[in-house]
Structure 1
Amino acid sequence: MPGLTCPGRAGIVVAMPVQTLAQSDGVDLFVPAAYDLAWSAVVLLLVVGAVVAVVLVVRALLRTPPDPVSLHDLADADPVRRSARRHAATVAGGAAGLAGLVGIVGSQAVATVDGLAEGVLVGLLPALVALAFLAAHAVGERTWPSPRTAVRSATLRHRTVDDVAPRRLRRLTWALATLVVVLAAVGAATAGDDGRSVTRVAEASTSTASPYPGAFYGVWLALGAMTVLAASEGVLRLVARRPAVPHVGTRWDVALRRLSAHRVLRGVQLALGLTAAGTLGTGASAAARVGYPGAVVLVAVAALLALAAIAVVVQPAPDPDEWAGTTADEAARAVA
């Protein structure tokens, strides 16, 4: 390899190995970085593809076989219902695609950030992905096609989020957001003066470990969780107030709204669950390294929490035709 010599201050000659460039303007210096970026994107796409494949297989195993003539088949014969389903599926697919893209770009950004900002960005990555996911859903709900019939009908009862959002999933979302805030508060109360490490004094020895979700990280994590929760409630309001699907009946229209709300909450709870699991796991790992008893158990709890959040996403969403069919008798009794 050729060398470069230059005189030093005291007459010392310094030899520095250099790399010969194919072009004089040095554009090839950026080739390795571009190669690493492309390779990392390919790896991430493979990982995402593997996860999607596992989810599809699990959903196929959990799904019950349809009847020879099911409500879903009858609904597909209706062009209005088919169009509404297509729009809802397009919104969900676009939101998932945008979330995956933001996740890939965010992962690459983490690799280029140095210092303490890297830890903050890692902690906020699930929230950023969730906000992109919710933004796509918000655009989809705002662009929901309005009825174009000559005679329009509307329910006299004002729909609210409680009418369209699954209660258990919504409560789980609120609980996970609250858990993130509680973990951030506990971390801030138990961290050191720097807000990012934990210290344990035992007899004559002192042990310190980091990173630890103290105030330095916890404030951002709590703000991210509350922002995601507020944004999800806003999107759920859009779902409840969007134009009704004409000529399908009130029950089916509400059932389609429940499907959209279920999809929104599944993505949000996944982001909040991963944030809570990451916060708990990071704090417990640092506490275990300094010798706090029982901290290893919390690491296992964090792993179970992350798996539970993923398991909720795998659960299939309620089908509008089946839900409307099973609640038909109850709605008729309520009207009577």
Structure 2
Amino acid sequence: MKKIGVFTSGGDSPGMNACIRAVVRACIYHGLEVYGIKYGYDGMIKGEIIKMQSHSVSNIVQRGGTILKSARSTEFRTKEGRQKAYDQLKKHGIEGLVAIGGDGTFTGAKIFSEEFDIPVIGCPGTIDNDIYGTDFTIGFDTAVNTALESIDKIRDTAASHDRIFFVEVMGRDSGYIAIQCGIGGGAEIVMVPETETTIADVIKKLDTGLRKTKTSSIVVVAEGDEEGNAAEVMAKVKAENPKNEYKVTTLGHIQRGGNPTATDRILGSRCGIAAVEGLMAGQRNCMAGVMNDQIVYTPFDDCISKSKPINQDYLKMMNILSI
């Protein structure tokens, strides 16, 4: 293998640039040519492919987002679209790919690799930490710290006005951000998709806290909780228990931005180098992740199909710490 392409796809996450940088410099270190593919699969189809040098990734390790940009691609979901993408890769002589993204990115990579016999290795770039085969995903640590900083500030005003705040964090299918923010931010309740927390449970917990001289509370709600988002949960609680003052804050996309933490910069760098060296060693159709502080390669099939449940110790900690 002499030429490798790298691209980012799906939602951006802090640390993606560190991963791109690692891929580029690992290729150069090992004597390979490296090409950046802009705008994910859409850019691959359109031929937005540029040769990259060491200086192409200078001064990006500390930046959030992705210098290669990201975009959704409806066309890549068709066989004709994937054929166009393959033709562009062949035109540039690209023999292997590093795909930085989440399960949607890996699903596309798996199909593409099987159809055209081109090896692809993924790097887990998503803030949700919901990919099987790695302890943490690139961007998760930064997202938690960004959300936690906001929760700390919200608690100041909650305490000043004796209010109950419902704070919504990202996590359509995963409660990892919510549970870690809840523990780190001293929340009274955390609501996540993985476990059922009823409105009755929320009201009981809040009333218990208020009877113990608590004058304010924080409820962290993952956007995909079965009871709804933070605004919906608050409305249900208020309908049953209107005597308190309630407020809602939705943190939204601020969780996807910002300078990556050291943890995400290092994780992105490790995964990027591992992806390049995996391709050189003949690995394909898999993701380079880190488990128990060791690089591991997990088949895309497992990354896509297997769930990653929340550590039960975290749930136990919430119950103990919120009394």
The TM-score range, normalised by the shorter chain, is: under 0.3
Normalising by structure 2, what TM-score? 0.26
Which structure carries more relative contact order (alpha carbon 8 Å, separation 6+)?
A: 2
Higher strand share: 2
Higher helix share: 1
Normalising by structure 1, what TM-score? 0.25
Larger radius of gyration: 1
